[in-house]
Structure 1
Amino acid sequence: MSEEITFLWEMSTGSLLMLAAGAIALLLFLIMALKLHAFIALIVVSLLTSAAAGIAPADVVPTMLDGFGSTLASVALLVGLGAMLGRMLEASGGAERLTQKLLGVFGEKRAPLAVSIASLLMGFPIFFDAGLVLMLPIIYAVARRLEMSFLAIAFPAAIAFSAMHAFVPPHPGPVTAVDLYGADQGLMVILGLLFVLPTWYVCGYLLGKPMARRFDLPVPEIFDSPQEEDIARRFRSEPSTWTVVLLLLLPLALIGMNTVLSTLVTSGAVDEGNTAVQILSLIGETPVALLITVLLGFIVLGAVRGKPGKLTEAIADTALGPVCSVILITGAGGMFGGVLRASGIGDAIADSMTSLGLPLIVAVFLVALLVRIAQGSATVALTTSAALMQPAVQGMDLNSVQLVAVVGATAAGSIAVSHVNDSGFWLVSRFFGMSTSQTLRTWTVGSTGVGLVGFVIALVMYAAASAG
């Protein structure tokens, strides 16, 4: 928020912890026991938590709206544009065509591996939420084609995006942590893959198999109303595989260009004030890159194939209706996390943890983990804990690999235990067609596994670098 929040009373770290635990318990009770809609439950609990935290009545609603609005600012455009592109690919038959190609190359038995590899590649330049939405039509098409449990395909892919988002630049969390700790960005990109690949394989690909057997979920029927099916039938044109690949790779290329330019600007190789650099950087911003791709989709999947503009508009419109619920619930999850952040619980936990005298590699992990559990956002947990632990890290004479290990340990703590105060939790829940209970028993478990495996890798890397 732009203005400082006024509190009617101060709370100790222990009281803030009890408040957060009580708020989460109440939220779960409302959703799982009373079957209250998640959107309403999140608003109610956010309001009650604000009041209990001592936020002045005049600041309660602005605090709630700040968390809601900041989440929608990062999610709504990406989900909306990604859903439009995905809907066009699905309705045109392009997703099905690419699915046939993937299965022809990898074989049906290795379909989850094929989709996961594609997700890892897409997850390098694209943020978690945007990448997952872009992959959904492929995930849906593969699951329908093979008639297997939806989670067998979707879960490893989602973990792939999550691991990339946590450990590898240019994602904002690891970029900020690398900068604060004084590590090397290029080395973090290279060694970051040593975190991503094992965590994805163990916690996504291997863990996804028993989860798919335990939770035999159907493919979510997000766009399956009779009216939408009729519109999709008239839009179908069977585009070539290369057309589909172009539409999927274009945003990656544009965003990747932006990443390269940012790196060159940081190193001083190019002038940030150069007009051409500024224009290219704008084109490479994720929302702009997705917008350009959607507009190209209108042309190559619609106009070029003789589809009337009214039909293309209808296809785009059918994409937005079903994802409105996803966007609103995700925004409300961001509201709840924002209220907890405003209460000061993250800073209180981090401050108290720094005085325990733990080994550095353990301390950064635990600080990030507790901040993550308390307030929800992985990026906020990583950046906040890195800022608080910066003096301790820079006060030690660490070599370049040790610094990367410390960044990895902080990232591991920040990605674990995704639950009801995390907007990403609700994104996965709604797009995967899972109840809150099912999401807790799958996504929360998987994200916790990513954090724990990532921490073990950080410990090994830190020890090896110290011995060397």
Structure 2
Amino acid sequence: MHYITPLALPSLADKALPHAGNAQLVTAALIGIALIVALITWLKLHPFLALAIGAVTVGLIAKLGAADTVASFVKGFGATMGSVGILIGFGAMFGKLLADSGGADQIVDTLVGRAGPRALPWVMGLVGAIIGLPMFFEIGVVLLMPVILLVATRSRLPLMSIAIPALAGLSAMHGLVPPHPGPLVAVAALKADLGLTLGLGVLVAVPTVILAGPLFGKLAARWVNVPVPELFSAPDQGEQDNAAGDVKESKPRPSFAATLATILLPVVLMLGSAVVDVVSPKSGGELKKVLDVLGTPPVALGIALIVGMLVLGRGGRMTREAVSATMSNALPPIAGILLIVGAGGGFKQVLVDTGIADTIANAIRDSSLPVLLLAWFVAALIRVATGSATVATVTASGILAPVAASLTNSHVSLMVLAIGAGSLFLSHVNDAGFWMVKEYLRIDVAQTLKSWTVMECIISLAGLAGVLALSVIV
């Protein structure tokens, strides 16, 4: 999953010890993943139940024990709900408020009107990157999803040509560019220069987003040609003539500036907290404490929701009853998403607790691969095995910290980026983010693999290629 929170970040002291042999752990993981895919695609079982069955199967084969397997699944489910679940709930309310107040329409009309159909995928990639710079992935998704869906509806462009660029911008920032929390973990562990890592990260991220976003989006739109889902209420097409650019407003809307400011409020709060942490990590007094609280993801999004109720509600001339109805109506559609994402977190935790991450780390600790390629490879293997970018980043950074001590400043920064790129590789059924994207876009498992998973692989491999290219120059 694309997030690092106190609930989700494992301490190095709490690492799981393997309960079975190396071959048995790998076999357990493969069987569990294959079982989940078969249950969903062949038996048409609900993903929530399939993930639970897959988690129990992995735990039993890996000799984790029945009781410990259930406890591990519950722990992962609870940790995911404690972090991501709150954000999805607030995000759903915020997205519904954007739609019902007319704020999303205002943003979309501006984007569609000024960018034009050919430029829209590029604009969405830029928007995703800006939102994703300080933002946890799931917050970026819930903030952007109503805009993605309405842009696709209004522009009449294929859904994937709009969604993939925005998601690529979010994901690339997560893995490659501090002050996003992901790269900051590796920066701290490897004692890299933050400013240098930031500069090199931008150099790698820009071509990566272009390749995985607008360019791959064209191909993804052919592979996954699906209608725009009605997760948020879209305006009636009879009232809005997209081709002619004529928009007949049936009710007042918030201004573009007010809507944009409300959307960017959590971005500013989280970015402010991140900047203060970087500038003065151990000092700062009361201001730092206040910003740390305000920049906490649930707090930042909660504040944005409250401000949105006032600003967007007033701009759309919504009554208190209308705002209350919007808040209530936003939650029922996401019940299934919450359960599936939580179960994905539970399955990930079972994999982590079997000790498979440590098994992989120990197996390649003494590898003779070039150091930057090794950094990517370690992170990628652990990511694929556990479904957690957090575990991949922390584990790979811990393994490679002694090696980093002997490198130049520039190559330590490139190692941070290599680990970040590897931590994004091959998101699949053990990643709660996989299920989040699947459910929001209302696509099936195969379609998610052909779009989201391939996009993540492109980001990871393009990021690695950029790192290796820069290593020749710097």
TM superposition score normalised by structure 2: 0.90
1:63: Cα distance to partner? 0.8
Distance 1:415 1:262 in 2: 24
Runs of 4+ in 1 over 6 A off after TM superposition: 1-7
Give the conservation status (yes or no) of the 8 Å contact 1:31–1:37. yes
**Does the 8 A contact of 2:101 with 2:318 survive in 1?**
no
1:246 to 2:261 alignment? yes
Q: Distance in 2 between matches of 1:304 and 1:451?
A: 42
Contact 2:124 2:162 in 1 (8 A): yes
1:14 aligns with 2:29: no
CA distance in 2, matches of 1:161, 1:353: 30
Q: Which residue of the partner structure matches residue 280 of structure 2?
A: 265
Are the counterparts in 1 of residues 101 and 316 from structure 2 also a CA contact under 8 Å? no
Contact 2:255 2:315 survives alignment (8 Å): no
Question: Structure 1 residues 74 and 381, CA, compared in 2 at 3 Å: closer, same or farther?
Answer: same
1:120-157 Cα distance to aligned partner (Å, 9 max, x none): 11111111110111011111111110122111100111
- The whole-number CA distance in structure 2 between the counterparts of 1:241 and 1:326 is 30
Report the Cα distance in structure 1 between the residues aligned to 2:125 and 2:70, rounded to whole angstroms. 41
More helix as a share of residues: 1
Q: Which amino acid aligns with 2:264?
A: L
Equivalents in 2 of 1:10, 1:319: separation in Å?
43
Aligned residue identity for 2:75: D
User: In structure 1, which of residues 360, 372, 380 is the aligned counterpart of residue 391 of structure 2?
Assistant: 380
Aligned: 1:363 with 2:374: yes
The one-character-per-residue Cα deviations of 1:334-388 (angstroms, maximum 9, x if unpaired) are 1111100100001100110112222211211111111011000112211111112
Separation of aligned partners in 2, 1:290 and 1:333: 23
Query: Would you say the 8 A contact 2:86–2:298 is kept in 1?
Result: yes
Distance 2:258 2:19 in 1: 59
In the alignment, structure 1 residue 44 sits paired with structure 2 residue 53: yes
Match of residue 232 from structure 1: none
Q: Could you tell me which residue of structure 1 aligns to residue 444 of structure 2?
A: 435
1:455 pairs with 2:464: yes
Deviates more, 1:169-178 or 1:422-431: 169-178
* Matches of 2:30 and 2:140, distance apart in 1: 31
For the Cα contact (< 8 Å) 1:169–1:188, is it kept in 2?
yes
Change (3 A) 1:210 1:69: same
Instruction: Report sequence identity in percent.
Output: 37
Q: Which amino acid aligns with 1:39?
A: F
Distance 1:225 1:108 in 2: 19
1:112 to 121, 131, 135: 121
Tell me which residue corresponds to 1:332. Answer: 343
Structure 2 Cα separation of the partners of residues 34 and 440 of structure 1:
18
Gaps of 5+ in 1: 227-234
Partner of 2:105: 96
Asked if 1:414 corresponds to 2:423, the answer is yes
Moved more, 19-28 or 383-392: 383-392
8 Å contact from structure 1 (residues 237, 301) kept in 2: no
State the distance in 2 between where 1:411 and 1:89 align: 33
1:343 to 337, 343, 354: 354
Aligned to 2:270: 255
Written as runs of structure 1 = structure 2, the 5 A alignment for 1:36-435 is 36-224=45-233, 237-266=252-281, 271-272=283-284, 274-303=285-314, 306-394=317-405, 396=406, 398-435=407-444
Q: Determine the C-alpha separation between the residues in 1 that align with 2:389 and 2:292.
A: 25
Aligned equivalents of 1:5, 1:449: Cα separation in 2 = 30
Q: 1:4 to 1:127 in 2, by over 3 A?
A: closer
Q: 1:28 to 1:263 in 2, by over 3 A?
A: same
**1:276 corresponds to which letter in structure 2?**
L
Q: Distance in 2 between matches of 1:306 and 1:130?
A: 26
Q: Amino acid of the residue matched to residue 337 of structure 1?
A: K
Q: What's the CA shift for 1:280?
A: 2.5
Count of paired positions: 451
Contact 1:326 1:430 in 2 (8 A): yes
SS of equivalent to 1:415: coil
* Paired residue secondary structure (1:357): coil
Native 8 Å contact 1:402 1:461 kept in 2: no
Partner Cα separation in structure 2 for residue 225 and residue 411 of structure 1: 36
Alignment-mate amino acid for residue 132 of structure 2: G
Kept in 2: contact 1:173–1:380 (CA 8 A) = no
Contact 2:58 2:350 in 1 (8 A): yes
1:60 offset after TM fit, Å? 2.3
Question: TM-score, normalised to structure 1's length?
Answer: 0.92
For residues 52-90 of structure 1, give each alpha carbon's deviation from its aligned partner in whole angstroms, at most 9, with x where no partner exists. 211233322221111111112221121111121111111
SS in 1 for 2:280: helix
Output the amino acid matched with 1:415: L
Deviations 1:271-330 (A, max 9, x none): 34x223212321122211111111111112225765332221110111111122112111
Secondary structure of the structure 1 residue equivalent to 2:119: helix
State the 1:5 CA deviation: 10
Query: Is contact 1:349-1:371 (8 Å) kept?
Result: yes
Distance 2:163 2:262 in 1: 21
- The answer to whether the 8 Å contact 2:112/2:155 transfers is no
Secondary structure, aligned partner of 1:109: coil
Greater relative CO (CA pairs within 8 A, separation 6+): 2
Label 1:120 to 1:6 Cα distance change in 2 as closer, same or farther (>3 A): closer
CA contact (8 A) 1:172 1:379 kept: no
Deviation at 1:224, TM superposition (A): 5.0
Contact 1:366 1:413 in 2 (8 A): yes
Question: What is the SS of the residue equivalent to 1:307?
Answer: coil
What displacement does 1:451 show?
0.9
Measure, in 1, the Cα distance between the counterparts of 2:316 and 2:81: 34
Are the counterparts in 1 of residues 149 and 228 from structure 2 also a CA contact under 8 Å? yes
From the superposition, tell whether residues 10 and 291 of structure 1 become closer, same or farther in structure 2 (CA, over 3 Å): closer
What do residues 220-240 of structure 1 show as CA deviations (whole Å, max 9, x unaligned)? 1124599xxxxxxxx953111
